[in-house]
């Protein structure tokens, strides 16, 4: 198998090609750039988001309206918060077909989410020392749902359903209006079905600021955590407020990767390869294959497919700027590269598919075999489609019920338990020079009549007090 390195292969699409067997510096640099791409926006975007956040923190609702007037995403009336009554009314206007699709999507996501509900546990360390790991749902969360050029009621389902399963008391959704200032009726209805408490009509950094700081002048209280995908401005704003409220993770452009060999159908591979690129012009689409003939056939099929798709201009730009074909000398090298890249979405279509899947350990969501399109996971399988991007799948997982609560530790200790560990506490505290820590244990074993300078060992025996300088 022979393939050009970082060059066109005769296709007008001009998908750039990389050969993992190549040893030149240019190829090595291109591979590093792909793998270590990151999900955090550039410094200028973060600075811009920081400025908008400060304006919202100080100016409240008026600042959000000004930002929306400048950047888009607001209603012409300036209305910011849609209350539950209006959301409920939108449910009644749904067609039967759309209502049925929403209901199935919600039911499937809920079914999978219910398997994730964390449990509170208790562990006895030694007799008399018990630690409870208590899981508690968050009180109030904000779910960001992208909008503007395209509505995403599916993202509302993916963020709100696990919050409801977790037992979150209040859920606020933020989503921008479209270019004409309208909010998608299906998104409104999905919010109504899920009994969202309020919907903030705003996007970008100003929406994140409103969720994090609250809008007292619009009746919107701050949230405890913000989740959901968004553009670079949303991601930058989430990073900036993460010291004040919790966030799920920073999310970059949607990513799609297909791992395929000579047994794969190029028509299906092409269909899967362009799926996530449809989200935006900065979305990577990468084919990793051991077969040059498959690569050529996939490129030809994409050329045939593009004219039939509504978002053709977005797809062409994404594929031209971020489309890649990566050749591997064998499946082992292909799998190693996929793990190193850690894609958000990974379709796997090879001869021994389960053996390959068993070795793929760094992807947000895997789609196994020719009957598993990524769009099935986006809408209907029940798996969450809010996933780590930018290589964060090496260390982070999909949005889940656990994101909507937190653990606390409850430590129960009786006298016998403290006696069993007191010497360790005393010794460690002394070694660190933290005598107040040591004294908190020793004070519990002093009899009321004992001298303030006397110590009691865990066995209950008196021992000389430390030197005054240690106190």
Annotated catalytic residue: which of 55, 316, 344, 442? 344
310 labelled catalytic? no
With a cut of 70, say whether residue 5 has pLDDT above it. no
Please pick, among 255, 345, 374, 419, the residue that the annotation labels catalytic.
345
Confidence band (pLDDT; 50, 70, 90) for 35?
Answer: very high
Compute the average pLDDT of residues 368-379: 97
Please report, for residues 192, 322, 357, 468, the alpha-carbon distance to residue 365 in angstroms, rounded to integers and kept in the order given.
Answer: 28, 20, 11, 61
Helix (H) / strand (E) element for 246: namely: strand 246-247
CB of 189 closer than 8 Å to CB of 196:
no
344 is catalytic: yes
Alpha-carbon span 143 to 224, nearest angstrom = 11
Which of 9-13, 58-62, 199-203 is predicted least confidently?
9-13
Residue 375 pLDDT greater than 70, yes or no: yes
Report the relative pairing of strands 225-227 and 140-144 from DSSP bridges: parallel
What's the mean per-residue pLDDT of the chain?
92
Residue 27 CA to chain centroid, in angstroms?
31
CA atoms 363, 33, 282, 40: torsion sign: positive
* Section 333-337 average pLDDT: 98
455 or 373, which is more confident?
Answer: 373
Residue 196 DSSP code: -
Non-local (6+) Cβ contacts of 466 within 8 A are 430, 435, 455
Gyration radius from the chain CA atoms: 28
Q: Write out 247-307 in H/E/C secondary structure.
A: ECCCCCCCCEEEEECCCCCHHHHHHHHHHHHHHCCCCCEEEEECCHHHHHHHHHHHHHHHH
Whether the pLDDT of residue 467 is over 50: the answer is: no
**What is the reported pLDDT for 440?**
97
What pTM value is reported for the model?
0.89
Is the pLDDT at 450 greater than 80, yes or no?
A: no
**How far is it between the farthest Cα atoms of the chain?**
94
Which one is predicted more confidently, 463 or 436? 436
Cα 280 from Cα 285, distance rounded (Å): 11
What Cα–Cα distance (Å) separates residue 391 from each residue in 146, 249, 346, 402? 21, 12, 12, 21
Q: What is the pLDDT of residue 38?
A: 87
Complete edge-to-edge strand list for the sheet that includes strand 170-175: 81-83, 198-201, 170-175, 140-144, 225-227, 246-247
Indicate if the pLDDT at residue 149 is higher than 80.
no
């Amino acid at each position: 198998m022979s393939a050009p390195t970082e060059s066109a292969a005769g296709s007008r699409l001009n998908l750039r090609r990389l050969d993992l067997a190549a040893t030149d510096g240019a190829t090595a640099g291109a591979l590093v750039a792909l793998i270590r791409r990151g999900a955090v926006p550039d410094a200028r975007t973060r600075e811009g988001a920081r400025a908008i956040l400060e304006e919202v923190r100080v100016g409240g609702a008026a600042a959000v309206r000004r930002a929306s007037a400048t950047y888009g995403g607001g209603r012409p009336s300036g209305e910011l918060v849609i209350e539950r009554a209006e959301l409920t009314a939108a449910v009644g206007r749904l067609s039967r077909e759309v209502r049925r699709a929403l209901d199935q999507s919600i039911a499937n996501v809920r079914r999978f989410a219910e398997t994730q509900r964390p449990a509170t546990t208790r562990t006895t360390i030694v007799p008399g020392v018990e630690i409870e790991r208590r899981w508690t749902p968050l009180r109030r969360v904000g779910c960001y749902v992208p909008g503007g050029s395209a509505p995403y009621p599916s993202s509302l389902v993916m963020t709100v359903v696990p919050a409801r399963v977790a037992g979150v008391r209040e859920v606020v959704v933020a989503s921008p209006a479209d270019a004409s200032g309208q909010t998608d009726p299906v998104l409104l209805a999905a919010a109504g079905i899920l009994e969202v408490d309020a919907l903030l009509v705003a996007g970008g950094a100003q929406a994140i600021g409103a969720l994090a700081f609250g809008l007292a002048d619009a009746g919107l209280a701050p949230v405890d955590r913000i989740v959901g995908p968004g553009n670079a401005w949303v991601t930058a704003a989430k990073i900036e407020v993460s010291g004040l409220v919790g966030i799920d993770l920073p999310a970059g452009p949607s990513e799609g990767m297909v791992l395929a060999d000579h047994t794969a159908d190029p028509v299906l591979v092409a269909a899967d390869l362009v799926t996530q690129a449809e989200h935006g012009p900065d979305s990577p689409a990468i084919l990793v294959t051991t077969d040059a003939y498959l690569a050529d056939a996939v490129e030809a099929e994409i050329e045939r497919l593009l004219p039939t798709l509504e978002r053709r201009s977005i797809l062409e730009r994404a594929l031209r700027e971020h489309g890649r074909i990566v050749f591997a000398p064998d499946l082992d090298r292909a799998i190693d590269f996929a793990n190193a890249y850690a894609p958000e979405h990974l379709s796997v279509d090879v001869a021994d598919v389960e053996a390959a899947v068993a070795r793929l350990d760094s992807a947000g969501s895997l789609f196994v075999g020719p009957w598993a399109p990524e769009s099935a996971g986006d809408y209907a399988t029940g798996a969450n489609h809010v996933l780590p991007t930018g290589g964060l799948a090496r260390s982070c997982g999909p949005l889940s019920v656990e994101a909507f609560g937190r653990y606390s530790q409850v430590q129960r200790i009786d006298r016998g338990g403290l006696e069993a560990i007191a010497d360790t506490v005393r010794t460690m505290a002394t070694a660190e020079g933290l005598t107040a820590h040591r004294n908190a244990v020793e004070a519990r074993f002093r009899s009321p009549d004992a001298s303030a300078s006397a110590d009691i060992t865990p066995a209950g025996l008196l021992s000389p007090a430390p030197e005054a300088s240690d106190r």
